[in-house]
Amino acid sequence: MLFTSPQFVLLVTCTFILYYLPSLVRWQVPILIAASLFFYAYGQANLLWLLLLSVSINIASSYLVIYGKPDRHRLYAVLGVVFNLAILLFFKYGPLLGRTFSATDGELGSLLVNLPLPIGISFFTFQGISLVVDTYKYRHVEQYRSLIARNLLKHAQTVFFFKGFFPQLVSGPIVKANFFLPQIGPKSIQAVRWEYCFRTLVLGYFLKMVVADNLKDHTMLMTYPYFEAYSSLTLLVLLFGYSMQIFADFAGYSLIALGLAALFGYQFPINFNFPYIATSFADFWRRWHISLSSFLREYLYIPLGGNRHGTARTYANLLITMVLGGLWHGAAWSYAVWGFAHGSALALERFAGDTFGKSTFQRFRLLRGLLVFGYVTLAWLLFRLPDFNHVLAYLRAIVTNGGKPHETLAIIFIILYSLPVIGYHFYHVWQHSPTRLSLSENRFSTQTALIYGILLFLIITNSGSEGAFIYFQF
C-alpha cells in the first residue's frame, strides 16, 4: 500500500479517528498495531507470517536477556541476532546465491531464485537487531531495564508496536528502542503538533509526488538497452536527474513517515540533512540516510574495531562496513560495488586528511562539494542499473555517444523537476546565512505560508504518475 494511494489515506483517516476517541484511549497501541498489520498485509498478505516470526524472535530474545538466567544472557542475545540475520540472508540474498551458484546445483538454485522478497525486510530486521543488542548492552542499566516489561504479553505488544509501526515499517527510519520505547503511552489530540505535521507532510508529498514521480517518467530512459540510443549529454542529464529523483523519493518518504508518526504523538529521528551540500564523503554520510549510517557505525564499524587498531585496520573496517552496507540495499553484486566505491572514497579521504592535514581541506569548499556530488551521482548508476554489465555499457555510451541525437524534451523536464531539489538545498543554506537572520520573523512566516501553499497546489495539480518508493525494494 503506497503512502500516495487513496487506500492509505482512508486507512490513516480511520485509524486517526479511532485512535483519539476518548473511550478508546487505553487501546491506542493495539489500534496502531492492527492498522500496521493491515497495512503490511494489504500488499503481501502471504508474507505476513514472516513479519510475525521476526517480531516473535525479538520478543523472546529481548525478554530472556533481561529476565532469563543471567549466565545465558549472552547466548540469548547471540541467538536473537543470528535468527534475525538468518531470515534476512535467506529471503533477501537467497535469490542472489541462487543466481550465482545455479550452475552447480540447478534444483537448489531454482528454489532460491524464486524466493519472494518481503517488503521492508532490511528495515525491520535491523530495527530488531538494535533492540536485542541494546537490551544486552544495557541489561544492567535500570532505566533501560524498565523499558522491558516483566509481563510478557505487555512486552510482546510493545515490541510489535516498536517494529511494526506502519509509518516506518517498510522504509525506515531505523529507530532505536531506547529512542522509541520511552515515548509509548497515552496520547492526546490536543498535543498534536499540527503545524509541524502539515509542513512535514506537504514537503514530503511534494518531493515524492511532484518531483520524484515526474522525474521517474524521464529517467526510465536509462533502462538497458534504450539508453544506448541517446547522446552523451542526454545520458549525463539522465544520471543527474536520477540523483535528484532518488533523493526526492527517499527524503520524501522519510518526511512523510515523520509527519505521520507525529499525527499519532510519536517522534522519529531525522533521516536526511541536506546531503547534497556535503563537502566531504564523511559529511555526506552524516547527512544521507542518517539512521542507516548511524546503525552501521554503531553496530558494525565500531565492533569491528573502528579506528582503534591502526591506520590499515581503520581503512579495512571502512571498506567492510560500506560493502556490507551496500549489500544491505539490494541482493546484487552491483550494490556491493556501490558500497566499495563509497568505502574507498571514505578511506582515501581519511588518508588524505592524515597525510596533508585536515586544515588543508577546509579550503576549496565549493570545489570539494562539486566533487562529492559528482562522485555520489555517478555511483547512483549502480542503483539504477543493478546489472553491472549494464552499468559498464552506460559508462561506455557516455564516452562514445557524443554524436547521437539529444533527447531535448527529457533534458528540459529533468532540469525543471530538479530545480525544487536544488532550491531546497539552497534555501537551507540561505536560512542559516546572516541575510536570513536579519529578516523579521513576520516576513519569514509570510514567505513560509506562501511556499507551502504553492507546494500544496502543485501536489494537487502537477503530481506525476503513481510509483512505488525506490527504497521499498530494500
Catalytic positions are 329
3 close to 256: Cβ distance less than 8 angstroms: yes
Could you tell me where the DSSP H helices lie in 357-387? 365-379, 381-384
Angstrom CA distances, 266 to 11, 187, 269, 310, 370, stand at 18, 9, 10, 42, 37
In sequence order, what are the residues at sequence separation of 6 or more whose Cβ sits closer than 8 angstroms to the Cβ of residue 6?
Answer: none
Alpha carbons 80 and 316: distance in angstroms, whole number: 27
- Based on its alpha-carbon atoms, the radius of gyration of the chain, rounded to whole angstroms, reads 23
Residue 420: is the preceding peptide bond cis (ω within 30°)?
no
3-class SS of residue 65: helix
For residues 265-302, b (16+ Cβ closer than 10 Å) or e, as one string? bbebbebbebbbbbbbbbbbbebbbbbbbbbbeebbbe
Angle at 181 between CA 290 and CA 156, to 5 degrees: 120
Give counts: helices (H), strands (E), the chain: 23, 0
Q: Which grid coordinates belong to 11?
A: 486507512
- Closest by Cα among 157, 131, 127, 124 to 66: 131
Q: What is the largest CA-CA distance in the chain?
A: 72
